[in-house]
Every structure is written in C-alpha cells, then in structure tokens.
Amino acid sequence: MAYASNVVVAAGFLIFRRISSEVQYLLLQTSYGEHHWTPPKGHVDPGEDEMQTAYRETKEEAGLDVEQLNLIKNFKKELKYDVQGKPKRVIYWLSELKDPNTPVTLSDEHQSYMWLKLEDAVQLAKYPEMRKVLKDADNYIQKFIIKN
C-alpha cells in the first residue's frame, strides 16, 4: 500500500491468550524514552507489507513465531497520531497465542512484559487510542471467539 512519504507506518499484533476462562493481553515495556507499554509493533521496512512487518516485529520483540499465533483476520485497527511532529500510522491485527504457556523472549528494545486482563491492560496503556483498541478487541473476543 502506498503512503505519503512523510507518514511513518508501523504494524503489529495485539496478542491475547486464554488461561482457563480469563483472556489476557500481552504488553511490552519499552527500554527507551518514557518506558511506555505497547503490543509488539514496528516500522514497515522497504519491500514489506504491513502483515509481514507485524510478524517480523513480533518475532524480534517477543520471540513469537507465525506458527505460534492464530491470526484473527476480521479484526484490524488503525491508529493515527503525530510523533515528533511527523504523522504516524499504526496497524494492529488481533492474534491469539495458540499455547498460552509459550514463553515470551524480549529483545533489547523492551525491558519487561506482562500478560494482563483487560482492565489492567487498559490502565497500563498510556494512550487513549490504545485503550480503545484493547476494549474493542475484548468486545470482539467476547462476541465472536469465546464459546459459551
């Protein structure tokens, strides 16, 4: 997809797992700047599409491979905001960790990670847009994925 040359484009996965009846979301704490918490994501490299970026960044930042994730194709959210005066666009897809006991392996870009239930993830997420993505994802999971 073509973008204006001044727009920074990033992509990633909002990853969840199920432990018994509880849904938990993976957030990583950056090891730089304000040490904010975010799902794995990163900038689209030349020659990549956003989905390739999301998989590559998830592998690099959390140590999770494509085979370990179940992509939820019908859930895609796009955030738009400015970073240091430049427009940024971030695309998130929802993805479930197939084995909830799979270990997370952090890169140097992050210093910590947590699996959090919705309320705690929303509280930890710094930006209102990210909080909305988490809530929208949880609504989607409850409505379309959880089988009662």
List, in order of start, the domains of the chain with CATH numbers: 21-145 (3.90.79.10)
Per-residue model confidence (pLDDT) at position 6: 83
Which residues face 22 on adjacent strands?
A: 19
pTM here is 0.93
Taking the CB of residue 5, how many other CB atoms lie within 10 A of it? 5
Contacts of residue 91, Cβ cutoff 8 Å, sequence gap at least 6: 9, 10, 11, 12, 50, 54, 76, 77, 78
Which residues face 120 on adjacent strands?
A: none
- Per run of 10 residues, the mean pLDDT along the chain (length 148 residues) is 74 97 97 92 96 98 98 96 90 98 97 98 94 98 85
Per-residue model confidence (pLDDT) at position 71: 98
Per-residue model confidence (pLDDT) at position 116: 99
Burial label for 32, CB within 10 Å (0-12, 13-18, 19+), is exposed
Structure tokens at 105: 């392996």
Per-residue model confidence (pLDDT) at position 33: 86
Of 114, 132, 139, 90, residue with least CA distance to 25: 114
Structure tokens at 45: 């490299």
* Dihedral sign from CA coordinates of 40, 44, 50, 56: negative
Per-residue model confidence (pLDDT) at position 147: 67
Per-residue model confidence (pLDDT) at position 82: 86
